[in-house]
Amino acid sequence: MREIVFDTETTGVDPATGDRMVEIGCIELVNRIPTGRTYHAYFNPGRPMPAEAERIHGLGDAFLAEQRAFHHHVMELIEFLGDCPLVAHNAQFDFGFLNHELRLCEHPLVAMDRMVDTLALARKRHPGAKHSLDALCSRYGIDRSHRVLHGALLDAELLAQVYVELTGGRQIGLGLMGEAAVRAVAAGEAPVAGSGFQPNRRAYRTPRPHGPTPDELARHKAFVGTLSSPLWTQ
């Protein structure tokens, strides 16, 4: 099963008031195992970056002015996303910005039934606990020491590890799809639906006899004859 874990960085919290997406990072999973395939891009939002947003992700006007606008990336992004489930933390936020950008490009929107929200999963599994990405990394022992600022690809990588823990833990990788099959899927050389499992082919062996031999039966009868008043004769 193919899934995409993704995260976005933006100029603010509400696309309806003119906020735009400035970064997206995507991680491909097959059977909850990262394949190594990623998608990452920065976008020129065509508007100034508010100081409070820049403090979160560190993306300023000078850097973003050198990037291309979203519509230059849209086809390669949609091709990478495909039609599989899309996993995000507080996914309504990320889906809202992604679909806003698609709408501005007059491109079909991503269906909301593809959404998998790890925030909702965390609230259900750990009611009453903290559910931020940092808190979940701490809960599951995921190293985030290199996360100084928010970054879409880095946060997607951390979220992919959190998602695996929320949906069964690392042992989920013990399924029937081996690493070679995962790499083949990533390279487009095998269908995602295939398990990659091949049973061992062994030569047929005649069943071994397990009954007593005539000699063993004779020796057993002789032994029983030496017993004095056995229980089964009483």
Contact 155, 25 (CB under 8 A): yes
Our measurement of the distance from residue 169's CA atom to the centroid of its chain's CA atoms, rounded to an integer in Å, reads 11
Among candidate residues 73, 89, 131, 150, the one labeled active-site is: 150
Q: In whole angstroms, give the CA distance from residue 47 to residue 64.
A: 10
Nearest in space to 37 (alpha carbons), one of 49, 54, 25, 22? 25
Contact 129, 139 (CB under 8 A): yes
Is 52 annotated to bind a ligand? Reply is yes
Is 165 annotated to bind a ligand? Reply is no
Is 61 annotated to bind a ligand? Reply is no
- Tell me the sheet residues that pair with 41: 24
Is 155 annotated to bind a ligand? Reply is yes
Angle separating helix axes 152-166 and 118-125, nearest 10 degrees: 40
- 72 part of the active site: no
- Binding-site positions: 7, 9, 52, 57, 155
- Binding-site positions for substrate: 7, 9, 52, 57, 155
Catalytically active residues, by annotation: 150
- Binding-site positions for a divalent metal cation: 7, 9, 155
